[in-house]
């Protein structure tokens, strides 16, 4: 029997259908609300708004659950590779051996970047942020590969998806090499996706890069953990921009821009900067905890809190183990990891953090891992972006196939001036005028 919710407005009762998801989560379908009642809902930040139905990723923020296509993140992190997980997200099922081989061949085939694009890279100011460069370059792909799919069934959708997955990784490494004024290293057919990336970043004519399987495994896990996260800010941006039926490159470019923000993907960089600040402050975490709790201070403990997780982020738990393993392998002791541990210990016992349900999120440990790999700090968010690509592309593909597809166009409650007349310049009182 269909469940409904009752809404009473001005004495009149409206019945609104309740939609139930496969994991039992429930939402009130208000798609006919305005038509029937003349009212809209107001939900700043969309914290209570479901923008779509999706069969890709399930998360339960209260229980700390994350699953891609039904498979728990813990199992994927333990057994899968990033390439296999990307296939799963894009196609809905784990690949057979043959399907995975074909997918890897396709990724290799599309790994090179058009040589003319190098000029673009070289003309960005040396200090330009790599996320700005990446978002512009992804948008520019449209000009280099103008053939767009006619429909979602078109084989070109697969080609565009693999092109993005493969080329964004190459472009990220390329921008790093160019920013250093070093020779660009090309992708190699004989290397796996993650090993290829590390080689393109760190191989040099004077010092060949030695690929270490523990680092490759760590990078695979890092990217798997970032591969999708249902309707987060950047994915919502991809869906919103994509809803105007713009091409995939432009939609992904907007996702990259959204991810850049320090409250979203930029947090991994912000965490390491914060930990370094604590280090410079003799490793004393208490003043930082105090500042984070002070309502008059805009400072926040970076890497803590999440819009959906109200418990420990399952990705943070996995990432912490990866950090330990990689640092052990490199025989490194990172003082920042100790500071992070101290911060976590104190914050988790503090009533402010307990009452606000603030726990470490994935970004709390990823910066330390990326630093151990040798990734420069301004490339951290680019690493997140490479990982999030399969999610963005899968969500875009799902949205263009959605029978309930609609142009995203939220409404508002207007709070500005009532209607008033235009005042000619000569009659305006400058002392009253604002700017
Ligand atoms: N440090 C101190 N206080 C915090 C923090 C924090 N990191 N996060 C939230 N709060 C407080 C906030 O001050 C507010 O307090 P009050 O209700 O007393 O005014 C309350 O918690 C709710 O905050 P909010 O900003 O309304 O909550 P939100 O759900 O919009 O915030 C968040 C989610 C991730 C933006 C926020 O927790 C934050 O800014 N965290 C730090 C940045 C960060 O680590 N971002 C990475 C997110 S995980 C990666 C990803 O998936 O993008």
Index of the ligand 1 atom closest to the CA of residue 305: 37
User: What is the pLDDT averaged over residues 50-61?
Assistant: 96
What separation in Å is there between the alpha carbon of 36 and the centre of ligand 1? 36
Query: In degrees rounded to 5, what are phi and psi of residue 20?
Result: -115, 130
User: What is the pLDDT averaged over residues 197-201?
Assistant: 97
Say if residue 412's pLDDT is above 80: yes
Q: What percentage of residues in the chain have a pLDDT greater than 90?
A: 78
d(CA 362, CA 321): 12
Residue 425: predicted pLDDT: 94
Active site residue: 110, 226, 306, 313, which one? 306
What separation in Å is there between the alpha carbon of 277 and the centre of ligand 1? 20
Angle at 74 between CA 336 and CA 258, to 5 degrees: 65
CB 297 within 8 A of CB 291: yes
What separation in Å is there between the alpha carbon of 196 and the centre of ligand 1? 36
Say if residue 153's pLDDT is above 80: no
d(CA 433, CA 435): 6
Say if residue 433's pLDDT is above 70: no
Say if residue 56's pLDDT is above 60: yes
What is the SS3 assignment for 126?
coil
- Specify the residue for token string 């029937």: 36
Predicted TM-score (pTM) of this structure: 0.92
| Ligand 1, pocket residues at CB < 6 Å | 229, 232, 263-265, 267, 292, 300-307, 356, 358, 361-363
What separation in Å is there between the alpha carbon of 307 and the centre of ligand 1? 7
pLDDT band for position 401 (50/70/90)?
confident
In what helix (H) or strand (E) does residue 184 lie, and over which residues does it extend?
Answer: none
Residue nearest to atom 26 of ligand 1 (CA): 307
306 counts as catalytic = yes
116 counts as catalytic = no
pLDDT, tens digit (0-9, with 9 covering 90-100), for 278-303: 999 999 999 999 999 999 999 999 99
Residue nearest to atom 25 of ligand 1 (CA): 307
Closest CA to 51 of 309, 407, 305, 387: 407
Active site residue: 363, 401, 402, 421, which one? 363
Q: What percentage of residues in the chain have a pLDDT greater than 70?
A: 98
Q: Read off the tokens for 340.
A: 């992070």
Residue 232: predicted pLDDT: 96
pLDDT band for position 93 (50/70/90)?
very high
From 57, 225, 305, give the residue whose CB has the most ligand 1 atoms within 8 Å, as the site to mutate.
305
Index of the ligand 1 atom closest to the CA of residue 233: 52
């Amino acid at each position: 029997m269909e469940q409904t919710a009752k809404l009473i407005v001005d004495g009149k009762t409206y019945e609104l259908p309740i939609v139930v998801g496969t994991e039992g989560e429930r939402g009130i379908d208000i798609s006919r609300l305005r038509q029937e009642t003349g009212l809209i809902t107001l939900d700043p930040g969309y914290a209570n708004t479901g923008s779509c139905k999706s069969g890709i990723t399930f998360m339960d923020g209260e229980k700390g659950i994350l699953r891609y296509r039904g498979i728990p993140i813990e199992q994927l992190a333990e057994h899968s590779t990033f390439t296999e997980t990307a296939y799963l997200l894009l196609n809905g099922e784990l690949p057979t051996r043959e399907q995975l081989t074909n997918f890897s061949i396709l990724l290799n085939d599309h790994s090179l970047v058009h040589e003319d694009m190098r000029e673009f890279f070289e003309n960005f100011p040396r200090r330009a942020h790599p996320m700005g460069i990446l978002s512009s370059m992804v948008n520019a792909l449209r000009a280099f590969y103008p053939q767009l799919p006619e429909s979602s069934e078109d084989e070109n959708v697969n080609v565009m998806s693999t092109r993005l997955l493969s080329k964004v990784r190459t472009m990220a490494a390329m921008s790093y090499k160019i920013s250093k004024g070093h020779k660009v290293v090309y992708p190699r057919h004989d290397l796996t996706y993650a090993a290829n990336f590390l080689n393109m970043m760190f191989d040099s004519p004077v010092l060949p890069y030695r690929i270490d399987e523990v680092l490759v495994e760590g990078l695979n896990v890092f990217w798997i953990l970032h591969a999708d996260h249902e309707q987060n800010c950047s994915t919502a941006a991809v869906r919103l921009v994509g809803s105007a039926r713009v091409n995939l490159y432009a939609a992904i470019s907007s996702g990259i821009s959204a991810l850049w923000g320090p409250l979203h993907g930029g947090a991994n960089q912000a965490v390491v900067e914060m930990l370094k600040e604590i280090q410079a402050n003799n490793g004393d975490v208490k003043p930082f905890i105090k500042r984070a709790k002070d309502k008059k201070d805009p400072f926040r403990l970076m890497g803590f809190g999440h819009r959906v997780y109200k418990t420990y982020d399952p990705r943070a738990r996995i990432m912490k183990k990866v950090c330990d393993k990689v640092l052990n392998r490199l025989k490194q002791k990172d003082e920042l990891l100790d500071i992070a541990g101290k911060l976590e210990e104190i914050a988790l016992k503090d009533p402010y953090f307990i009452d606000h349900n603030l726990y470490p999120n994935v970004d709390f440990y990823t910066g330390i891992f990326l630093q151990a790999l040798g990734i420069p700090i301004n490339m951290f968010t680019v690493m997140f972006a490479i990982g999030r690509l399969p999610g963005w592309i899968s969500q875009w593909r799902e949205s263009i196939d959605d029978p309930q597809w609609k142009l995203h166009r939220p409404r508002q409650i207007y709070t500005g001036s009532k209607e008033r007349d235009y005042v000619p310049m000569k009659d305006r009182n400058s002392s009253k005028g604002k700017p």
